[in-house]
Amino acid sequence: MATMTMIQALNNAMDTMLAKDPDVLIFGEDVGYFGGVFRATDGLQKKHGITRCFDAPIAESGIVAAAIGMAAYGLRPVIEIQFADYIYPGYDQIVSEAARLRYRSAGDFTAPLTLRSPYGGGIFGGQTHSQSPEALFTHVAGLKTVIPSNPYDAKGLLISAIEDDDPVIFFEPKRLYSGRFDGWHEKPVETWSAHPASDVPEGYYNVPLGKAAIAREGQAVTVLAYGTMVHVALAAAEFAKIDAEVIDLRTLVPLDIETIVASVNKTGRCVVVHEATRTSGFGAELSALVQEHCFWKLEAPIERVAGWDTPYPHAFEWEYFPGPKRVAAALTRTLEA
Amino acid sequence: MKNPLMKNATSLSLRIPTPKARPGDPADLSHVNPPPAGETPRPDVSASAHDMRDMAFKLVRVLNDAGEAVGPWNPALDAQTLRRGLRVMLLTRAFDDRMYRMQRQGKTSFYMKSTGEEAIPTAAALALEKDDMCFTSYRQQAILFARDYPLVTMMNQIYSNAADPNRGRQMPVHYSAKQYGFFSISGNLATQVPQAVGWAMASAYKKDNRIACTFVGDGATAEGDFHQAMTFASVYHAPVIINVVNNQWAISSFQGIAGGDETTFAARAIGYGVPPLRVDGNDFLAVYGAIAWAAERARTNMGPTLIEHYTYRVEGHSTSDDPTRYRPAEEPRRWPLGDPVERLKQHLIVIGEWSDARHKALEKEVAEEVKTAAKEAEAIGTLGQSRPSVKEMFEDVYKEQPWHLRRQRQELGT
């Protein structure tokens, strides 16, 4: 065991997989010699060689397409899109090609690639370095979408993503890279070392895709969250002094519906939270699923707390970011309903 | 304040390129001025991209008007290989004709012929190794014939019947045949080009000796993916041959709309530091020579080549298209570079390895082969008469079927 930040855990996952499987290789903008703008691939080129971890042209469609070709050949490419906000030039290759290759060829060709991308807000990144576009990928048949919330899960989930035989979109909440963040932005930065999930095994292990975790057990209300919002939800429960059950979804597709349904059937109440814009966000899908599966157990309307339906604003970071106060207010409303 | 230099300037005007002739006009192909066969030099395969620049504006031709193979690009193929090429082209033409008729008879929804362009995929397939991976558009079906892919399997795909290898999930002609070195056809344009580069990079990464060969139309070279592919191919010296099939027409848009009036498509390579070749695409021997040149280059770690194949789309874009609505009806017959089948036939006759009688017999033979395959495929069923099990609609979305798809399949009752 070692104490790792999320970025170190991700680096360690790739290090582990490069050592384990010669068919794993990594490329993306600035990921090679420099080790990535967030240092996720720091040292990997030096340790594993230049053909295992190398720089790519600033051409997201080319990066995704090259990974599809490599995956079709039989490799397991891991690509980095420098910010989730830059993913759109590669969107056609992700949606029309990677996602459908297995289906359209009836398994003749497959695209077992992992696309990693720093994601989410809380860093004063403005509209081009803060977005949470997960719903654009969860909407696409054939993709898996994974969003970790802590170092242990980040490593285990990334290893599972690399070993998965389908294309995986792996969004990394960049605000969590070097420390835990629960949305109380005025507080001093909290290091990961104080958190039990920073105990990360050095070697190989995995956290299975499609399995949620219960971040906090509770009886009063279920909170469905992922990424940074797991920590915000925990802070909100503490702030509102509500015995909330916080579920860390970890994987959005395939979704762990059993854990969600069991929890909501127990609490009778549900609040869905995400950073992404509200309209047509993944929260809409979660709300619909909860009412489909748990309608007769619900004692209050399902609440959604999300980013406002605006582009991500620079100067209004904390009015935009759905912090603990907004989540706490939703929890309180749900209990009062 | 006005800029005094602008005082007497004329007003701006927006230029929209238009072809020389439209329906009702006489065909005008005066801009097509092919050099004599044998004239274009053949650089050594180790030539630098810089020294190859002129090749983007020349035209590699081997077969002259008399049907003789001349000049440095003559691949000097034996008669058996030449007859093999002729057979594959004739088979492609027979297959295209029959499937076109089947679409018109309502037996399938859609078809795309490759008439006039058969030499390009045929010669490419014969010049490549069988396990080199081809990332094609929808008009290189001849590669599958050249690699002996079963005709009946292609027809099953076209009919989306119970034996369709794609399990009823793709429109007709979107084949996938990994064992035959043929990548799944997408339908989205130019997406296959950077994928081919990635595949080639993987082959190099694994110290394999297979190369990738990709085909894209003149129109789709305007897509960003084409240019990203060129960048990647150049940067990583990917062992890939990038073929631009310039058949003059992108559905109804002439090649000037893709930028072909300003320079050649082969010249796109110059900016990327990739060697260009520009080839008479209706000349089987020229195409073979060019592909063999590029393949040798790729296989010896000298990187990618861009080849523009100058040809003509004789038929409509697809069964959903009517080319008489946008180009002179006589234009296909006036194409100055002739018909690839006739030119190879003439050559074989000139060298004493073929005759009109043998040609007629071969035409009959391939027509029979297509007919026999069609009977077998139609016995399984044409579109709507037979199809894979509906439950397969929910399979292969992921390797393992997740709960939500299982639930949806149950909801449909399958």
**Range of the structural domain that residue B374 is part of:** 50-318+326-383
Residue with token string 């002609």? B173
Q: Tell me the nearest-neighbour CA distance from B330 into chain A, angstroms.
A: 38
* pLDDT reading at B102 higher than 80: yes
Domain membership flag for residue B132: yes
Q: What DSSP designation does B172 have?
A: T
pLDDT of residue B2: 56
Cβ–Cβ under 8 Å, residues A130 and A310: no
Mean pLDDT of B87-92: 98
Domain membership flag for residue B405: no
Residue of A171, A102, A176 lying closest to A136 (CA atoms): A171
Residue of B55, B75, B57, B63 lying closest to B37 (CA atoms): B63
**Residues A240-250: b if buried by 16+ CB within 10 A, e if exposed:** bebebbbbbbb
* pLDDT reading at B302 higher than 70: yes
Q: For residue A53, give the amino acid letter.
A: C
Which residues in chain A are closer than 8 Å to B398, comparing Cβ atoms?
A: 102, 142, 144, 166, 254
Interface membership of A49 toward B (CB under 8 Å): no
CATH level 3 topology of A2-200: Rossmann fold (3.40.50)
What is the location of CATH 3.40.50.970 in chain A? 2-200
CA B35 to each of CA B41, B43, B118, B169, B340: distance values in angstroms, whole numbers, following the listed order: 12, 17, 22, 46, 17
Cβ–Cβ under 8 Å, residues A334 and A240: no
* Band of pLDDT at residue B5, cut at 50, 70 and 90: low
Q: For residue B2, give the amino acid letter.
A: K
Phi first, then psi, for residue A19 (nearest 5°) are -75, -35
d(CA B191, CA B400) in angstroms, rounded, equals: 26
Q: Is the dihedral of CA B36, B39, B42, B47 positive or negative?
A: negative
pLDDT tens for each residue of B26-69: 999 999 999 999 999 999 999 999 999 999 999 999 999 999 99
Domain membership flag for residue B25: no
Domain membership flag for residue B293: yes
Best of B186, B195, B389 to substitute, by most chain A Cβ atoms within 10 angstroms, is: B195
Q: What angle do CA A81, A85, A91 make, to 5 degrees?
A: 65
DSSP A69-86: HHHHHT-EEEEE-S-GGG
Cβ–Cβ under 8 Å, residues B135 and B193: yes
d(CA B181, CA B154) in angstroms, rounded, equals: 15
Q: Which CATH number goes with the domain that contains B345?
A: 3.40.50.970
* pLDDT reading at B4 higher than 70: no
* pLDDT reading at B6 higher than 70: no
Interface membership of A62 toward B (CB under 8 Å): yes
pLDDT of residue B3: 62
Which residues in chain B are closer than 8 Å to A25, comparing Cβ atoms?
A: 205
pLDDT of residue B1: 53
Residues of A designated catalytic: 129
Q: What angle do CA B88, B89, B94 make, to 5 degrees?
A: 95
Q: Which long-range contacts (CB under 8 A, 24 or more apart) does B390-393 make?
A: B390/B414, B392/B167, B392/B168, B393/B168, B393/B169
pLDDT tens for each residue of B381-391: 999 999 999 99
Domain membership flag for residue B4: no
Q: What DSSP designation does B272 have?
A: G
Domain membership flag for residue B42: no
pLDDT of residue B151: 98
Cβ–Cβ under 8 Å, residues A272 and A287: yes
| Structural domains of chain B, count | 1
Beta-carbon separation of A254 and B404 below 8 A: yes
Domain membership flag for residue B287: yes
CATH level 3 topology of A213-336: Rossmann fold (3.40.50)
The helix (H) or strand (E) run that includes residue B120 is helix B119-127
The pLDDT tens digits along chain A (337 residues) read 899 999 999 999 999 999 999 999 999 999 999 999 999 999 999 999 999 999 999 999 999 999 999 999 999 999 999 999 999 999 999 999 999 999 999 999 999 999 999 999 999 999 999 999 999 999 999 999 999 999 999 999 999 999 999 999 999 999 999 999 999 999 998 999 999 999 999 999 999 999 999 999 999 999 999 999 999 999 999 999 999 999 999 999 999 999 999 999 999 999 999 999 999 999 999 999 999 999 999 999 999 999 999 999 999 999 999 999 999 999 999 999 8
Domain membership flag for residue B14: no
Q: Which alpha helices (DSSP H) does B309-380 contain, by range?
A: 331-334, 340-350, 356-380
Beta-carbon separation of A109 and B212 below 8 A: no
Beta-carbon separation of B402 and A74 below 8 A: no
Tokens of A168: 């995986």
Q: Find the distance separating the first CA and the last CA of chain B, reported in whole Å.
A: 74
Average pLDDT along chain B: 97
Cβ–Cβ under 8 Å, residues A104 and B169: yes
pLDDT of residue A266: 98
d(CA A204, CA A210) in angstroms, rounded, equals: 19
Q: Tell me the nearest-neighbour CA distance from A125 into chain B, angstroms.
A: 27
Beta-carbon separation of B165 and A92 below 8 A: no
pTM (2 d.p.): 0.97
Say which of B205, B212, B228 has its CB closest to residue A61. Answer: B228
* pLDDT reading at B290 higher than 60: yes
pLDDT of residue B363: 98
What is the location of CATH 3.40.50.920 in chain A? 213-336
